[in-house]
Structure 1
Amino acid sequence: MQAKERREAIVEVVRLKGPVAVAELVERLGLSEATIRRDLVKLDDAGLLKRVHGGARPVDVRDDVYADLVDRQAEPKEAIARAAAARVRDGQSVLLDIGTTVGRVAKYLHGRPITVVTRNLAVYAELCEDPVVDLVLLGGQVRPAHRSLVGYLTEESLRQLRADLLLLGTSGIRRSGHSVDTVTEEVPVKRAMISAADEVVLLADASKFPGSGTATVCDVSAYRHLLTDRLPDGETSSVLHHAGVAVELVDTAPVS
């Protein structure tokens, strides 16, 4: 069983059964105790479950924003993630933002000779054991419910970096073209990521027009490409066109 499959199976058992002992996971999954314990550390770090003495328990679903959002608009997010990963060229350095769309990009980057810099703990969990990808995890304060790192340490780390490409998530895109967020703590980190990248690609499924959020991250001049599954309304499309933003519509048909 591959690491990704193992960890998905562990998370599924914990979600279905609630608190579970390491011994039960060993019996159910046919894995060694050492493997289970290592995987629990990784999954706890990624905010996918909580380690407790002798086992693990589910995260508090009332506070687990990421888990609540991850399956919403699943097909468009998957298509956008595939298209975003295809934009990354071998040898490039790419910044991956937080969010459930950007988080899906990571699985399409396996085995690529690239540098991935991220504060997204879901990305870290996906790529941490890849022997080819050069993975850089930014420092900062952990926000488990959002699978993110924020704060001064994150911003300061970004000031020391330069990346070829930023794949940027968003809570919403206003008709003015402004990208907004629902969480004010995310804004300075997102701005630092924009400043650290040569090229910015915004990822936004159709539900992000206008989406939610009142904290302005950037105006339309900050990004040059938008990946989405459906054209936004006429006013927003006009603003994007006049600002020179290239809008790429992705194919949401399932890949056979």
Structure 2
Amino acid sequence: MTSTRHARILSVLSADGEATVEALADTLRVSPSTIRRDLNALDAAGLMRRVRGGASIERDPVSITQTAVQQRAEKQRIASAAAAEVRDGDVVLIDIGATCALVARELRGRKITVVTASLAVVDELREDDDLELIVLGGAVRKNYQSMVGAFALQALTQIRASVCFLGTSGVQADGSIHDSTPTEVPIKQALLDASERRIVLADGAKFPGVSVARVAGPERIGMLVTDDGADPATLAELRRAGVDITIA
């Protein structure tokens, strides 16, 4: 268990450059004191650097820039293809995450209703007079720019949406959708419950990505929008389960 936690901590740091003790504890579903011990051990081994309130890791700036540009382009293509699935008059549920926020940007000026718990989506759409924006209430999670909790879940039980766009941290070999933050899972499941069409957004890096908590099996997904970096075997499994695949 310790070695697995250490590997996952390093994976998070490699992706983000730094992380707080609280964020890592939430992601890995362990106590902050356990994370502090893990970080001290990894720091002593020279694998990362312990900083006040968390940890950081050195990364190659050139590699980071190239990866960021590449991922941004892939996410943008996915967002554009996903937004094309929205029809005028639709009620659209949008999950948290960078690709979901890009979908929101693509939907500016549309005659639709958008419902979200993502602060990033709110930032993209709050000045748009053409669409109606409904913000789910709840406790604000600043690290994830999201709102979670009973208020958001209760609100979602009153909504029937035309389509939802769901983010994910990992698409597993059996086609199931996972998330790296268990706190977000009930919201994601409620988004699926409230929607007629269910579209998952996942770039190739999400195959298999990070898996902490299972959100849903492939039977609950109508469409996956991804790029040509997605694992072919996993895509085949999704197709067998009846999921439509769009390669952006």
Q: TM-score, normalised by structure 2?
A: 0.71
**Contact residue 178 and residue 211 of structure 2 kept, 8 A:** yes
Report the equivalent of 1:180. Answer: 178
Looking at structure 2, the residues matched to 146 and 244 of structure 1 have their Cα atoms a distance apart, in angstroms, of 31
Looking at structure 2, the residues matched to 71 and 134 of structure 1 have their Cα atoms a distance apart, in angstroms, of 32
Looking at structure 1, the residues matched to 106 and 231 of structure 2 have their Cα atoms a distance apart, in angstroms, of 30
Looking at structure 2, the residues matched to 75 and 244 of structure 1 have their Cα atoms a distance apart, in angstroms, of 28
5+ long unaligned stretches in structure 2 = 1-51, 56-63
What's the CA shift for 1:232?
3.2
Report the equivalent of 1:74. Answer: 72
Q: State yes or no: 1:116 paired with 2:114.
A: yes
Looking at structure 2, the residues matched to 61 and 96 of structure 1 have their Cα atoms a distance apart, in angstroms, of 31
Residue 179 of structure 1 aligns to which amino acid in structure 2?
I
Looking at structure 1, the residues matched to 95 and 173 of structure 2 have their Cα atoms a distance apart, in angstroms, of 22
What's the CA shift for 1:86?
1.1
Alignment partner for residue 196 of structure 2, among 186, 195, 198? Answer: 198
Residue 171 of structure 1 aligns to which amino acid in structure 2?
S
Alignment partner for residue 166 of structure 1, among 164, 167, 190? Answer: 164
- Alpha-carbon deviations, 1:51-95, whole Å to 9, x = none? xxxxxxxxx9979xxxx9x94711100111111111111111100
**Contact residue 95 and residue 193 of structure 1 kept, 8 A:** yes
What's the CA shift for 1:203?
0.4
Looking at structure 1, the residues matched to 74 and 239 of structure 2 have their Cα atoms a distance apart, in angstroms, of 22
Q: State yes or no: 1:91 paired with 2:89.
A: yes
- Alpha-carbon deviations, 1:207-252, whole Å to 9, x = none? 00000022000001111101001263343122112101111111xx
**Contact residue 180 and residue 214 of structure 1 kept, 8 A:** yes
- Alpha-carbon deviations, 1:121-169, whole Å to 9, x = none? 0110111111111000000110111111111111111011110000110
Looking at structure 2, the residues matched to 216 and 127 of structure 1 have their Cα atoms a distance apart, in angstroms, of 30
Report the equivalent of 1:148. Answer: 146
Number of residue pairs aligned between Structure 1 and Structure 2: 186
5+ long unaligned stretches in structure 1 = 1-59, 251-256
**Contact residue 119 and residue 148 of structure 1 kept, 8 A:** yes
Tell me: CA distance 1:195–1:75, structure 2 relative to 1, closer, same or farther (3 Å): same
Report the equivalent of 1:212. Answer: 210
Tell me: CA distance 1:126–1:234, structure 2 relative to 1, closer, same or farther (3 Å): closer
Alignment partner for residue 100 of structure 1, among 83, 91, 98? Answer: 98
Q: For 2:188, what is the secondary structure of its paired residue?
A: helix
What's the CA shift for 1:117?
0.4
What's the CA shift for 1:206?
0.2
Report the equivalent of 1:35. Answer: none
Q: For 2:84, what is the secondary structure of its paired residue?
A: helix
Looking at structure 1, the residues matched to 147 and 232 of structure 2 have their Cα atoms a distance apart, in angstroms, of 36
- Give the percent of matched residue pairs that are identical in Structure 1 and Structure 2: 42
RMSD: 2.1
What's the CA shift for 1:104?
0.8
What pairs with 1:45-64 in structure 2 (closer than 5 Å)?
none
- Alpha-carbon deviations, 1:166-199, whole Å to 9, x = none? 0110000000111001111011110011000001
